[in-house]
A and B are shown apart, each in its own frame.
Chain A
């Protein structure tokens, strides 16, 4: 069945460090891929998305590229800030479906 696998957390980085959170997926066909972010006490918010192979989603300095050959959608940011501390979820949805498949989430803490 469809699934998403994220790197284990928690991740702790110093401010201005480079961030990578790995995400790989298993799905039939060509799913759409998403990254969501959850700040403490809040719901999940859409961070970025990509709908086809080689698409790059980007938002707020975060980027992720849809890699069909490696079934991956790794999240990157060149210079993290304390305000980026949150839990990040990778997710997929089939092109003909309506149900999201979420990863387990990766907690990021950025220290000054």
Chain B
């Protein structure tokens, strides 16, 4: 079975540009999570969805960040405008609702110059 698929794997762009990260969860999973990982702050939960509805976005750092899940098989995380401090690895994870293990994608390594 295919796991969580994220694209792109790497993104390098200049500050001020819009960045869009994409995620395809595992088929049948109804919960989706976006995380950010940095050396300084470790793994941070940004937002999560259940049945395509955002449940908790308290981890989104500021209004420059937005996330959508238009259907059960696709989600995006957008940063506009991007800043150098947004440089990090962004992970998407999916799971079944409830106390079930999360399955992570391989991440998008984002560098903002």
A residues contacting B by CB (< 8 A) are 31-32, 34, 36, 41-46, 49, 51, 89, 93-100, 102, 104-105
* Residues on the B chain within 8 Å of A51, using CB: 99
Interface string of B16-56 (1 = CB under 8 A from A): 00000000000000010100000000110100101000011
Q: How far is the CB of B48 from chain A (nearest CB, A)?
A: 7
- Interface contact B99-A93, CB-CB below 8 Å: yes
* Residues on the B chain within 8 Å of A36, using CB: 104
Number of chain B interface residues as a range: 20 to 34
> Can you list 6 contacts pairing A with B, beta carbon distance less than 8 Å?
A43-B91, A43-B106, A43-B107, A98-B98, A100-B102, A105-B43
| Cα of A31 to Cα of B99 in the assembled complex, Å | 8
* Residues on the B chain within 8 Å of A46, using CB: 101-103
Say whether chain B's binding surface is mostly helix, strand, loop, or mixed: strand
Q: How far is the CB of B96 from chain A (nearest CB, A)?
A: 9
| Cα of A100 to Cα of B100 in the assembled complex, Å | 9
- Interface contact B91-A42, CB-CB below 8 Å: no
B residues contacting A by CB (< 8 A) are 4, 31, 33, 42-43, 45, 48, 50, 55-56, 91, 93, 95, 97-99, 101-107
Say whether chain A's binding surface is mostly helix, strand, loop, or mixed: loop
* Residues on the A chain within 8 Å of B31, using CB: 98
- Interface contact B99-A99, CB-CB below 8 Å: no
CB nearest neighbor in A for B98: A98
| Cα of A47 to Cα of B24 in the assembled complex, Å | 22
* Residues on the B chain within 8 Å of A31, using CB: 99
* Residues on the A chain within 8 Å of B99, using CB: 31-32, 51, 93-98
| Cα of A32 to Cα of B24 in the assembled complex, Å | 26
* Residues on the B chain within 8 Å of A97, using CB: 99
Q: How far is the CB of A3 from chain B (nearest CB, A)?
A: 13
| Cα of A93 to Cα of B95 in the assembled complex, Å | 12
With A36-B104, A43-B91, A98-B98 known, 17 other A-B pairs at CB within 8 A are A31-B99, A32-B99, A34-B101, A42-B107, A43-B4, A43-B107, A44-B43, A49-B101, A89-B43, A96-B99, A98-B48, A98-B50, A98-B95, A99-B48, A100-B45, A102-B42, A105-B42
